[in-house]
Amino acid sequence: MTSSIAAVDICNMALDMLSEAPITSLEDDDPVARRFKRNFDQWRDLFLAVHPWNFATKRVALTQSSEVPVHGWTYRYLVPGECLRFLPLRKLGNFGGDIVPHEIEGSYILTNEPAPLRVRYIWRNEIFGSWSPEAISAFAAFLAAKVAMAVTGKNSFRESSLNEAENLLATAKRLDGLQSQVEKPSYQDVISVR
């Protein structure tokens, strides 16, 4: 799935959806380019965090921090800087394993689970060529919805972009989910965390 797609290409896809002129760079001295530059990273992270995308999921084994929590937990682990959100923490990192009781405090995971702590998380994937074509299209529509009112001045463009984004996102999630088994909580998860 690797191709050479850049942030500006995705922004231009969004502008195409709004029938607006393209930009040449996020560095352009243009109000539209400045809006994208100001918000693009935040919007990308928001988009990635809403679904356990296959192209944005990582598995790692975290090492224990040298400092221990003051109280309540035995171990502390540094959250990776690229982590947008964790998928359910499971014993030994096994899919469908028992839930690992934990808290996230600031940049740390606090738990009684000894090292290494095996986790899966959604990471800040900035390599757009590794994204699925469906996710790229959904993200472009999401961007179009975000800038529609400011760029076109028409609420109807914003509404139609929002509908398009919702439809493309649903399709992208469905196709992404078909490529792997989606982890669903079991009744044991609810009982074990109580």
Same domain, 136 and 46: yes
Q: Is residue 27 part of a domain?
A: yes
**Residue 88 is part of which domain span?**
55-124
Q: Decide if 139 contacts 10 (C-beta within 8 A).
A: yes
**pLDDT band for position 4 (cuts 50, 70, 90):** confident
Q: Hunting for tokens 């918000």 — which residue is that?
A: 39
Same domain, 132 and 93: no
- Of 84, 106, 124, the residue that ends a domain is 124
Q: Is residue 88 part of a domain?
A: yes
Same domain, 45 and 94: no
Rg of the chain on CA atoms, in Å? 20
Q: What is the pLDDT of residues 47-77, one digit of tens each?
A: 999 999 999 999 999 999 999 999 999 999 9
**pLDDT band for position 101 (cuts 50, 70, 90):** very high
- Of 103, 124, 145, the residue that ends a domain is 124
Mean pLDDT of the chain: 91
Same domain, 83 and 168: no
Q: What is the pLDDT of residues 109-154, one digit of tens each?
A: 999 999 999 999 999 999 999 999 999 999 999 999 999 999 999 9
Select from 114, 153, 121, 108 the least CA-distant residue to 18. 153
Same domain, 119 and 62: yes
Same domain, 139 and 99: no
Q: Is residue 117 part of a domain?
A: yes
- What 3-state class would DSSP assign to 37? helix
Q: Is residue 152 part of a domain?
A: yes
Beta carbons within 8 Å of 42's beta carbon, 6+ residues apart: none
Same domain, 111 and 72: yes
pLDDT at 3 over 90: no
DSSP codes, 80-95? PTTEEEEPPPBGGG-T
DSSP codes, 94-160? -TT--B--EEEETTEEEESPPSSEEEEEEE----GGGS-HHHHHHHHHHHHHHHHHHHH--HHHHHH
